[in-house]
A and B are shown apart, each in its own frame.
Chain A
Amino acid sequence: MIQHIDIKDLKRITEVIHSKHGYDFRNYAMSSFKRRVLRILDVGNLTIEGLISKLSQPSAFIDEFLDEMTVNVTEMFRDPGFWRLLREEIIPSIQLNNKQFKIWHAGCSSGEEVISMNILLKEMGIMNNVKIFATDLDPSILERGRTACYSLKNMETNEKNYIRFQGKGSLKDYYKEQGGVAVINRDLLSNVTFQKHDLVLGAGLGKFDLILCRNVMIYFNQALQNEVVKKFHADLNKYAYLAIGAKESMIWCDYANRFIVVNQEEKVFKKIKD
């Protein structure tokens, strides 16, 4: 397995993806980007030249590349304290002003966070009042989100998180075991639109009352984080909420002062200025 790759080779790779396929990885955080590329070389048994040559031609390989490139590790109810905060403060506060509202999961990966949200909303009895947009760059992972089947091994972690979230029932109420996988009840997807979307280059998707983008921008450098936060700002209604990952920060972003911190621990912000 190749263990080293020069920055100049990484740059050649990002240039060819940009010019041939219209995706912009040029402002991704370097060390994780490098690890993903090394992984792709390893999995595909490719040399750097081989990878660049494959990426230079129009083919379905770009979708494989995106699937390996994007980090698709996620959990239901990751950080249970965050989900309790949503249930006890954030969602009730949105409801005060809007009976019907819209949530965007930006970088939804295989959909665990979307399922968590709908379980929460269903237990609050308001799932049908909410429209959810779930977007990701990676078409293969969106398909997994639409299918909503998860390995039973992952469900153990999910179940533990759900217990810490203090849900009303058991996570088992929301799926059936079929052929060794957990098949999520279809009604938990009835209000969800899965859509391919590029956070870096894509246009806005309308106005939202809550945007979740947790542990997605950690793969971007600060300049790109700054740009994406500006887009989120534009896509939020006034007094709407933005949630980022527990160990992320917006403190250096140009638009940080257009938000207030609602909860520092769980990294929930509220847009207070246009």
Chain B
Amino acid sequence: MSSFNLNNSYKAVVIGGSAGSFQGIVRILSKLPSDFPLPIIMALHRLRHVRHGFVEALSIKSALRIIEPTDKESIKKGMVYLAPANYHMCVELGNYFSLSTEEMINNSRPSIDITLSSTAYAFKNKLIGILLSGANRDGGLGMKNIKEKGGLTIVQEPTECMIDTMPKAALALTEIDFIMNIDQIIKFLIELNQQYK
């Protein structure tokens, strides 16, 4: 896949998803090797009052370690980070997370826009942003911010999405680099992994 600019030394992958994204996320995580070189930062809409079970469910088929970070925790390579229930998750300059209980955005906490936008600000053009299936517009603005900072943007092929509102919102707001189905996203990430070897 020579069309991807893999020469840019990316520092992180950020993924947003909502309704209908769970199976796709599980498939992606199940295909990535344990030595995947970049941190993966995920903001997925989830029930606000259920603190447990999500990490465990995602971990079943994943070779990578998945955690919900605590406030001010450093971002490390080869880890997968999931925004905790009822908190917004931001990335700060200096390569660490901060959490927030600010107002819900798009009726969501965690908000995908907040994670994507703060990650874009911290990682600039060293970021790959991926937005999956979802039933609201959260994430669109975040993808726009990633694009404006020079990052690479990918949305899930709307026809493959269980609910396509979220990728379509991003496509309407900014020029997205690639529209891919889950298999292509997996292939892309594995190719990225080869590049770092």
State the A residues within 8 Å of B (CB): 3, 29-32, 35-36, 71, 73-74, 78-79, 160-161, 164, 215, 217-219, 221-222, 225, 245-249, 252
At the interface, yes or no: B2 with Cβ under 8 Å from chain A? no
Contact call A160/B49, Cβ cutoff below 8 A = yes
Give the Cβ gap from B90 to chain A, nearest Cβ, in Å. 4
Looking across the interface, which residue of chain B has its beta carbon closest to that of A217? B71
Q: 9 nearest interchain CB pairs?
A: A31-B90, A249-B70, A29-B98, A31-B118, A218-B71, A32-B100, A215-B101, A248-B71, A218-B99
Give the Cβ gap from A244 to chain B, nearest Cβ, in Å. 9
B91 touches which of A31, A79, A246 (Cβ 8 Å)? A31
Contacts of B49 in A (CB 8 A): 160-161, 164
B92 touches which of A31, A164, A217, A245 (Cβ 8 Å)? A31
Contacts of B90 in A (CB 8 A): 29, 31-32
How many residue pairs between the two chains, A and B, have CB atoms under 8 Å in the bound complex? 67
Can you give 11 A-B contacts (C-beta < 8 A)?
A: A29-B92, A31-B90, A78-B86, A164-B49, A245-B71, A245-B101, A247-B68, A249-B71, A249-B72, A249-B73, A252-B72
At the interface, yes or no: B22 with Cβ under 8 Å from chain A? no
At the interface, yes or no: B84 with Cβ under 8 Å from chain A? yes
Looking across the interface, which residue of chain B has its beta carbon closest to that of A28? B98
Looking across the interface, which residue of chain B has its beta carbon closest to that of A30? B92
CA A219 to CA B103, docked complex, whole Å: 14
At the interface, yes or no: B121 with Cβ under 8 Å from chain A? yes
Contact call A32/B102, Cβ cutoff below 8 A = yes
CA A221 to CA B87, docked complex, whole Å: 17
Contact call A247/B87, Cβ cutoff below 8 A = yes
Given A30-B92, A249-B70, A249-B72, do A73 and B51 touch, yes or no (CB 8 Å)?
Answer: no
At the interface, yes or no: B93 with Cβ under 8 Å from chain A? yes
Contact with A along B53-87 (1 / 0, CB 8 A): 00000000000000011111100000000001011
Contact call A248/B98, Cβ cutoff below 8 A = no
Contact call B70/A248, Cβ cutoff below 8 A = yes
A71 touches which of B51, B101, B118, B121 (Cβ 8 Å)? B101
Contact call A246/B102, Cβ cutoff below 8 A = no
Known: A71-B100, A247-B69. 14 other contacts (CB 8 A): A29-B98, A71-B101, A73-B103, A160-B49, A161-B49, A215-B101, A218-B99, A219-B100, A221-B72, A245-B71, A245-B99, A247-B99, A248-B70, A249-B72
Contacts of A218 in B (CB 8 A): 71, 98-101
A35 touches which of B73, B91, B102 (Cβ 8 Å)? B102
Contact call A247/B71, Cβ cutoff below 8 A = yes
CA A71 to CA B70, docked complex, whole Å: 19
CA A252 to CA B92, docked complex, whole Å: 17
Contact call A32/B98, Cβ cutoff below 8 A = yes
Give the Cβ gap from B155 to chain A, nearest Cβ, in Å. 21
Give the Cβ gap from A38 to chain B, nearest Cβ, in Å. 11
CA A215 to CA B100, docked complex, whole Å: 8
Contacts of B100 in A (CB 8 A): 29, 31-32, 71, 218-219
Contacts of A78 in B (CB 8 A): 86
Contact call B102/A71, Cβ cutoff below 8 A = yes
Contacts of B101 in A (CB 8 A): 71, 73-74, 215, 218, 245
Looking across the interface, which residue of chain A has its beta carbon closest to that of B119? A31
Give the Cβ gap from B26 to chain A, nearest Cβ, in Å. 23
CA A248 to CA B73, docked complex, whole Å: 9
Give the Cβ gap from B47 to chain A, nearest Cβ, in Å. 11
Give the Cβ gap from B43 to chain A, nearest Cβ, in Å. 13
A247 touches which of B84, B93, B103 (Cβ 8 Å)? B84
Contacts of A249 in B (CB 8 A): 70-73
Looking across the interface, which residue of chain A has its beta carbon closest to that of B102? A71
CA A71 to CA B101, docked complex, whole Å: 7
Give the Cβ gap from B96 to chain A, nearest Cβ, in Å. 9
Contacts of A164 in B (CB 8 A): 49
Give the Cβ gap from A6 to chain B, nearest Cβ, in Å. 11
The residue among B68, B90, B101 with the most chain A CB atoms within 10 A of its own CB is B101
CA A161 to CA B86, docked complex, whole Å: 13
Looking across the interface, which residue of chain B has its beta carbon closest to that of A216? B101
CA A71 to CA B102, docked complex, whole Å: 6
Contact call A73/B102, Cβ cutoff below 8 A = yes
CA A45 to CA B71, docked complex, whole Å: 32
